[in-house]
Amino acid sequence: MPKQVLPQAIVTGAGSGIGRAIARRLAHEGFAAIVVDRAAAPADETVRQIRAEGHEARAEILDITDATATQRLVDSAPNLRVLVNNAGIFDVKKFNELTADDFRRMYEVNLIAMFTLCQQAARVLPEGGRIINLASRAAFGARNYAHYAASKAGVAGLTKALALELAAKQITVNAIAPGVIMTDMLLERPDGVAELAAEQPTGKLGKPEHIAHAAAFFASPFAEYVTGQVLIVDGGRSVGGTAAF
């Protein structure tokens, strides 16, 4: 019998954390995961984990700000059905210390690269294709992350605009806005993990798997009538106020 051709899902920034969890979950849901990262070793580890679970995956090493490289990526996925834009950068800097270059770099990676890959993928995604963007609850306001918060607010706006423009092709575009999730990026923050957990209504921090569950929903047939939405996954923190990230 010929080998089954699986629908493909591109997940950027999938070498660790949220991206790795999403790639593993989508592979479990029947997608051939295309694991995209800047570094080979973490991407290869994600692929190893997926294959060890009996699923299909391959790694693609590239910089998402390189439009030529991302076009090659899309061209290499003839059965593409889902694009997950997870890759991004983050740093801590007070507003008065920010420079225009800080803003440009944050937008270049977190928003412009995402726009470019959305555009490239939208040209080949079939009817029923899915685009899932990673925003952040920080978009609603955060101290010492003005450039990051602004870039993620841009992700939310881009998601809604694309949802309208791609609706005629039955391509849904949604975003997930994580709150505080236990990832390597979190550990780079100066705040104590225990203090952060205490600020959450649930009394605990999120796990990458919590975001992966949301991504799996948006990629599933159950979400075919859901588009242009930003799903906040933050343990209820946004209900209690948005004064801090």
Domains along the chain? 8-236 (3.40.50.720)
pLDDT of residue 204: 84
Q: What is the pLDDT of residues 95-123, one digit of tens each?
A: 999 899 999 999 999 999 999 999 999 99
DSSP 2: P
Angle at 87 between CA 82 and CA 92, to 5 degrees: 150
Count of CB atoms situated within 10 Å of the CB of 88? 25
Structure tokens belonging to residue 18: 């949220």
State the catalytic residues.
Answer: 148
Residue 141: the pLDDT is 79
What CA–CA distances, in Å, run from 240 to 156, 199, 202, 235, 243? Answer: 21, 10, 11, 10, 9
Give pLDDT < 50 ranges for the chain. Answer: 242-245
Per the document, the length of the chain is: 245
- Whole-angstrom distance, CA of residue 62 vs CA of residue 81: 20
Q: What is the CA radius of gyration of the chain?
A: 17
CA distance 229 to 218: 10
Instruction: Specify the pLDDT at position 245.
Output: 47
What pLDDT score was predicted for residue 10? Answer: 99
Sign of the CA dihedral with 146 first, then 150, 153, and 155 last: negative
User: Are 63 and 69 within 8 A, CB to CB?
Assistant: yes
Q: Could you tell me whether strands 172-178 and 130-134 are parallel, antiparallel, or unpaired per DSSP bridges?
A: parallel
What's the token pair of residue 12? Answer: 């950027």
